[in-house]
Structure 1
């Protein structure tokens, strides 16, 4: 038996390794030619200290208190030289990937479909030539064919599948948009590098509020695909806001998620005053059904910068501090910027 271990480095790069039963994370990383920080490998120096808040593992009792205190262990800190996984895990490594003689993974893919699903959104489907593991919510950089330029796009597909999908904003005159709308065809080759990003679904241990703006819906589709397979015993509510009626996409998929995932619900909001949509305004105008519970909630937010700032301001003005707040803001032709407020 072996386990899938995601190593998240502080420069935003994630590398996945397989860890055999009874094997330490440090040994598994070295076997995969990733040199995690280490001086002693005996639980004495503390150089290999990281953290793990997702997954089951055993630290044993071979390490000394100077390397890892009881308080640190209770807070999820680990020593990779002592950590023996008992399930799939996500391990935070507090150094850059380049310091560990590793870097971003590169995968070739073949275009399957390009669909203009609305005037402002493009659905891209790609078949990856090799496995590309990612955490639900993460993104990759896709190179624009014929150029050295890349653009960052969140996966909207289920983790673990070689058939990848992306929901991409159609930017008039944009480099990637122009290629997808005007030139791209099935069979074209694309280069993907990643996965990357700290915006991903954590273990669902309390109510979850998802807030999406425009094509910021993409990472939530991947999260919901994950929840459809793994289930959740907690209320999960999505508020999806767009500018115009035509911008609403993937509604049928959301309805299927609502039918197939226990405790999941969603609503859509349109900002335009000319809209005939029953809910108008911004997502912050329609939070009455959100499972906020005086802060006992994990919030995930993905959208353009003004939306992110407005939501952060909403919680601040309401005097509510969520248990955790994870957000990703995006702008045309700019890589995603992720953040988290504990």
Structure 2
């Protein structure tokens, strides 16, 4: 075990119930062997382990558990447990951050701390503890044993956390949760109500043919950053990127008005973000990135569609078709944001009516609006 300054202390032995006479192992180690592998989450694992160590007489002020994360932005998750309250909070680590740094910083404010790194695929994890006083040599030996016995259940937790992180990165949070919950059968799903956002870059094919691939990729990334950032900021979820297009949803979790107004705020933020991006590109001698975005509100089937052995978790239905057709109307109308009548009916935000329009493949004409200041 690597000790931080202040780990050394007097050599006092642990008192019961560190060793349960009815067991072959000390009680915390028996828990790690028999029950920890079924912990539903890293935060629950840390809280339960900390509770067992406290009950065994260890003078803990808090603990930290860090797991590496295979994510494009977040490189690690750290869970921080406070012995006094039993509460657990999560901290995120990003590229360039040392493994467990958030835990070290937090525990350093609680008291003398000790830590040990554990090898868990796909990376390392770290368990660290702060004491109400310096740990004795027998206490640090006990914590070392705890870390060794924690390696197996933590490997399982790390594998599940890795799967969750990867699914969220590729599917989005809500869809990933559904897949992890066992929604793996083709042609299964649920009907949900949501505001839908469909957005697309204009004339991007022509730009792609006349521009270096690396420059095109940078432009796409910048575009998707503005869209996804705005969608996530207002509680929505990106379902998929399709070429230079995006499909996102804002499911109804409260009222339809809340979902529609969240989508309207998101599309307003996208417009502001793209205006700033175009100004930056102009200063770099690059052309602007014109776009179109449409909003609609309705019911859709959200679930698995695809081949027997290759599925896509997505949304389909008339509402999805309509928002796609509506987005295609942006260029002919010379507008970069269009809003359907079903969204307009659910909001008090000022919108400008553009009239009713026939949409290809849609039986009824669609009342079309745009942002009042668009």
Normalised TM-score (structure 2):
0.23
More strand by share: 1
Structure having the higher helix fraction is: 2
Q: Which has the larger radius of gyration?
A: 2
